[in-house]
Amino acid sequence: MPILFAGIDIGSLTAEAVIIESGEIVGSEIISVLPNPVDSAKSVLGKLLSRAGLCREQIAYTVSTGYGREKIQAEGLADENMSEISCHGFGAYHYNPDVRTVIDIGGQDAKVIKIDRDGKLLNFVMNDKCAAGTGQFLEVMSRALGVDLNQLGEISLRSRKPVPLSSRCTIYAETEVMHCLQRGVPKNDIAAGISGAIAKRVAALVKRVGIEPPIMITGGVAKNAAVRREIEKELEVNIIYPNIDPQIIGAYGAAAFAMQKAGKV
């Protein structure tokens, strides 16, 4: 009978769940969050269990993280809760033990996490007071451009003459985008400027904790190839992009903590 462990991560826009066996991912699930984090936890874990043909009784230990993690534990959906910073760092470490810095760009915040050779947290910095440098910034900019969010990176990569955005504020940057469109600037070049703007904000966060490679990028924004490329340019380093969905790294780290807490590592 396999021994399974689960991690639940409730973010600002999405909720993730991961089940692992011997450190390997058995299955994962991502959903849009519900108004209540406990409901989000129930839904994402329930969908994952159903799709994997499992029941909750087969999970030996579960760790919750993210928004409402204490309530999720109190409701009996998790055995323990851990901070999202620790879980993202531990998840990156379990994916690649050489990683020393993690850039996590989510819907409403961006985090840079520095870990030691055992995956333990050394330092972190977080941008959570401004949308610039987050997924929300890209959503606002894609609407202003009139393109699908998932196409923004592809469009940006086709640019031949990026147009830098001078404003660091989302509202003013949106106005800049509109003015560029009115002047007939190609959308590819505006999109490249948007990628560059978010990269500069993230790179500034990295420099605050100190650049220590290898660096891994996680979170939903990590899927934007143009943003990844621009961050690499700003930092002058190669960034590790996981071959698993970068959005599940926090939940994967929570599951890895569950395995550790249960004494199975």
Rounded-to-integer distance, Cα 56 and Cα 237, Å = 42
- For range 36-65, the mean pLDDT: 96
Maximum average pLDDT range among 12-26, 128-142, 163-177: 12-26
- Of residues 134 and 66, the one with the higher pLDDT is 66
- Of residues 51 and 175, the one with the higher pLDDT is 51
Average of per-residue pLDDT values in the chain? 91
Identify the band that residue 1 occupies on the pLDDT scale cut at 50, 70 and 90: low
- Position 151 scores a pLDDT of 87
Q: What is the side-by-side order of every strand in the sheet holding 4-10?
A: 24-32, 14-21, 4-10, 59-66, 80-81
Report whether 103 contacts 215 (CB < 8 A). yes
- Position 133 scores a pLDDT of 67
pLDDT in tens, 109-158: 889 999 999 999 999 998 866 666 677 888 888 888 888 888 888 989 99
- Position 102 scores a pLDDT of 97
- Of residues 12 and 265, the one with the higher pLDDT is 12
- Of residues 43 and 155, the one with the higher pLDDT is 43
- For range 174-203, the mean pLDDT: 89
Report whether 231 contacts 213 (CB < 8 A). no
CA distances from 101 to 120, 125, 189, 258 (A): 11, 11, 30, 22
User: 66-75, 81-90, 160-169: which range is least confident on average?
Assistant: 160-169
Rounded-to-integer distance, Cα 87 and Cα 5, Å = 14
In sequence order, what are the residues at sequence separation of 6 or more whose Cβ sits closer than 8 angstroms to the Cβ of residue 81? 63, 64, 65, 69, 70, 72, 73
Q: What is the largest CA-CA distance in the chain?
A: 65
Q: How many CB atoms lie within 10 A of CB 175?
A: 13
- Position 67 scores a pLDDT of 92
Report whether 2 contacts 21 (CB < 8 A). yes
Task: At 261, list the tokens.
Answer: 């807490």
Rounded-to-integer distance, Cα 185 and Cα 209, Å = 36
**CATH class as words, domain 1-96+245-265:** alpha beta
In sequence order, what are the residues at sequence separation of 6 or more whose Cβ sits closer than 8 angstroms to the Cβ of residue 7? 17, 18, 20, 62, 63, 64, 65, 87, 250, 251, 252, 253, 254, 255, 256, 257, 258
pLDDT in tens, 225-257: 999 999 999 999 999 999 999 999 999 999 999
Please determine, for residue 95, whether its predicted confidence score (pLDDT) is greater than 80: yes
Rounded-to-integer distance, Cα 133 and Cα 131, Å = 6
Phi, psi of 116 (to 5 degrees): -95, -175
- Position 47 scores a pLDDT of 97
Task: At 156, list the tokens.
Answer: 């940006």
**99-241 matches 1-96+245-265 in CATH topology:** yes
**CATH class as words, domain 99-241:** alpha beta
- Position 265 scores a pLDDT of 44
Please determine, for residue 264, whether its predicted confidence score (pLDDT) is greater than 60: no
For the chain, domain boundaries: 1-96+245-265, 99-241
